[in-house]
Structures are given as structure tokens and as C-alpha cells.
Structure 1
């Protein structure tokens, strides 16, 4: 059985790739620019670009299963090529936003577009829908490294951050256990935490204090626009404003799939302390 893994430069995709290799699976690592990627021992790197349909037949030839990131561009071409290649099962890294009822959100729309295309394709699928990534906190690494100081517009905005290792392990289990075909797993971390509390846990992992400065939403938007398109920046601000002071519900599908509780943010902070030093 050959498994194609997309997103291998990301934290989740790279963890899925390594876990499958360790499990003795035949794996292909998908990359838009294979020549730029470091070789992965135990996996062949192939060119795969949904926006370039000509790359799909070779990448998918002989592939039985795919771990897929939710990229709307070219998804119809992907499903057509996957059907033609005989792909049996796709595990999609989706998002809880797809279950939020807020179809006006560009993030929700993007994930729903991919989910609906897979549902319409006739290929067996499993949707893994995580909430907020613990690794979103890495956007704070620069300011924390530089000055042990962080500027936040909504320090009391809550999320239920999930470790990338849990997302990868659930995805790998879905790929290897056919009992999970057709399932949708909603996964979060074990607790709802404010941004302030996440910073405190990073501080604990560092063994040094980190100061939080509250800024206006306008200042925050200006900072986001340095690296995000305006619609995405506005969605982020709207999301944080809506979660300000409001604990979020957690989901228990990590335990359902893996037989253990989800990994807490304190452990994530300890695992990534070097990123903030």
C-alpha cells in the first residue's frame, strides 16, 4: 500500500510522514518544488501541485491513500485524478470552522469547499477537523525572543489549542485503520485557554517572565496586514473578538481515536521552548 502525504513541510504533514515511515509504510512525500526540499529517508519525493493538473497523474500513480491539506485551488482536478489513479481513501486535515455554521468566513469556506468536493468524488474519506493549533503561538516567537514582551489585542480571547502531534497521530490512525473510513473527527486540546494563559505557560517553559501589552484592534489589524490578506486578518480579529472572555467547548475525539487524552498546551510549550528562547 502506497500513501501520498501532502504538506510535508508543515508540522502536521511532516509528523504524519515520519510516523508512516516508522510504521513501515511505503510513503511518497508531495512537494511543489521537490528540488528545494531536503530528501526524507524512507520516502520518495514527488512533484505535486494542485494548481498544475499535469503534476497529478505521476504523483498519484499507484497510490492507495492520501493525506491531504485543505487547498481549494485545483481540488476538482485532484479528485478527478485521484479517481482515475484508483485512490481508495483520502484523510483530509480540515478545520472545526467547517462545522461552525459561519459559511461567510473565508477559512470555513475554504475547508468546506474541499470537504464537499471529496464527498462528491465517491472516494472514501475521513475528515480530521482540529480547532486552534497550539503551533499558532509560534507567531509570538519573534517578539518573545527579542524582548520577552508581546502585544495582544485580545489577551482574554479563548481557544482550545491542540498539539500538532495529536493531529498527526489521529490522521495516521485514520490512514491505517479502515474502520475510520467515512468518519469525521472533531479534535481539540483538553482545555480552553486564554491567550494570556498560553503566554504564561510559555513563560513557565522558558523559566522567564513574558510581559503582555494590550493594544487596540486597529493596531493589531495593521500588524496582521504585514503578513496576511485583509479578509483573513479581519476573520482573525472577528474570531478573537467573539471569543474574548468566553471559554470554548472542547471535543474528545482524540481520546476516542487514540485511547488517551489530548496533549495539553503546557506540554506543547515545553516541547517548543527552544523556539521562544
Structure 2
């Protein structure tokens, strides 16, 4: 049985690929630019995800399971090709935002929700892996921390439950390989609710140097985010931060139930990625 892994240039997709290979599974790696992939020996790279439906039959030939990043704008083509190829199970990297009341209008939630809905209606078995905030999101602070040991934040007291990318990948791999996970959605959260300021403090502990937090205005933060994010995504992220300003959450996820152990804490992630901030 061959498992197709999409998004292998992302941290989660690559971790899924590596974990499957470590378990002796036959894996095919998918990317919009397969020639640029740095793959282990024996792993085939195939074209996928650039809107080219003509590439899907070759990518899915002989595949029975797929780890799928949300195929924005191309999910109908994917579903049709997957059914034709005989794909039995798709594990989708979705988002916890699909559970929000405004999921139909939220730009981030909607992009994942439409894929979930298409898979639910497809007749193919599915598992939806719905992580909250990725711990890796804090890598956006790495430049300022390296340069001046400082982070500029409009909402330093905004809370989140940052989750380690390896936990997201491990839940996904269990769903791919073990019975009992089909047609189920999993909430994947970190084990504690932390403010952005507390996350900065834990990064500072990991690098062994103090890191200051400088409060800035909403508009200043928006201007900075617009340098690398589209406007609708920027506004959605800032709206989320404003709602969580001073509001801790309950990290009630499914990592313990699926993996039989607690989720990795953010402090562990910070120590593992300390070099990015030094």
C-alpha cells in the first residue's frame, strides 16, 4: 500500500513523511514543484497541488491513503481523481477554526471547511486533524529576537494553546495507520494556554537571554503583518488575538486520547528550536 503525503515542504507534512518512512511504509511525496524536493532515497516525488488536475491520476496511481493539506480551489478535482484511483482514506490537515461560530465567513476557517465538506460528501473515509495555533507560528519573532532581543506585539496578553508540529504529525500518522480513526475529527492542541508574552518568556529561557516585549498599536501590527500576509488573513488573525486578549482557554484536545500521552509543552518546542532565535 502506498501513502501519498502532500505538503512535504511544510514542517507537518515532512514530519508525517519521516514518521511513515521510519515505520517502514511505502510513501510518495507530493508537491507543486517536486523537482525541488530534498527527499530520502527511494521516495518518489510527484506533481500535485498547483491546480493542474491532469497531474492527479499519476500522483494517485496505486495510492490507498492520503495525507492532505487543504486543496484550496481544487478539492472537487482531487475528490474525483481519488475516487477514480480507489483511494480509501484521506487524513486532512484542517484547522480548529472550522469549529468557530463564524466559520462560514472567517477566511481561514472557510478555506478548510470547504475541503472538509467535500470529503464528507465524497464517500471516501476521512479523518480531520484540527490543530489550533502552531508553535511554529512564533518563528515570525525570530528575526527581531535575533537582531535586538525584542518582540513588538499589539496583543501581548492574547492567549493560545500552541501545539508542537510533531504532535500534529504523530496524530495524523496514527490516523493513517491504525484502525478506529476513520470518519472522526480530532482537536489537536498544546497542553497549556499561554499568552504571547509567556511564549516570549519561554523562548528567552531557551536561549538563555532576556527578550523584551514592546506593546504597539493594532494598526502598527497590521502594517507589519501585511508585509508577508494577505489583508483578509491579517485581519482575521488580529481579530482572533483581540478576542483572546486576556482570555485563557481550555486546552481540551485529543492528543492524549490518540497518542496515549500528553501533548508536548511549548517550553520543549522552544528548547528544540532555540537556534532559530539566537
**Structure 2 unmatched ranges of 5 or more:** none
CA distance in 2, matches of 1:64, 1:71: 18
Contact 2:49 2:71 in 1 (8 A): no
2:38 aligns with 38
Deviation, structure 1 residue 101: 1.6
| Stretch of structure 1 that moved more, 49-58 or 120-129 | 49-58
| Cα offset, 1:78, TM superposition | 0.2
TM-score by length of 1: 0.98
Deviation per residue, 1:201-241 (Å, 9 max, x gap): 00000000001100000100111111111111100110000
How many correspondences in the alignment? 277
In structure 2, the partner of 1:186 is: 187
Q: What's the counterpart of residue 93 of structure 1?
A: 93
Q: What is the root-mean-square deviation in Å for CA atoms of aligned residues?
A: 0.8
Q: Is the 8 A contact 1:50 1:75 kept in 2?
A: no
What is the CA deviation profile of residues 98-130 of structure 1, one whole-angstrom value per residue up to 9, with x for unaligned ones?
111212210011110000000011100000101
Alignment of 1:108-147 (within 5 A): 108-147=109-148
Flag as ranges the 4+ runs of structure 1 deviating above 3 A: none
CA shift, 1:92, in A, is: 0.4
- Structure 1 distance, partners of 2:260, 2:100, is 26
- Give the match for residue 51 of structure 1: 51
Structure 1 unaligned blocks of 5 or more = none
Over residues 37-73 of structure 1, what are the superposed CA-to-partner deviations in whole Å (9 max), with x where a residue is unaligned? 2232342111112511011000000000000011321
Q: Is the 8 A contact 1:162 1:263 kept in 2?
A: yes
- In the TM superposition, what whole-angstrom CA distance separates every residue of 1:74-116 from its partner, at most 9, and x where no partner exists? 0000000000000000000101101112122100111100000
Q: In 2, distance between residues paired with 1:24 and 1:39?
A: 15
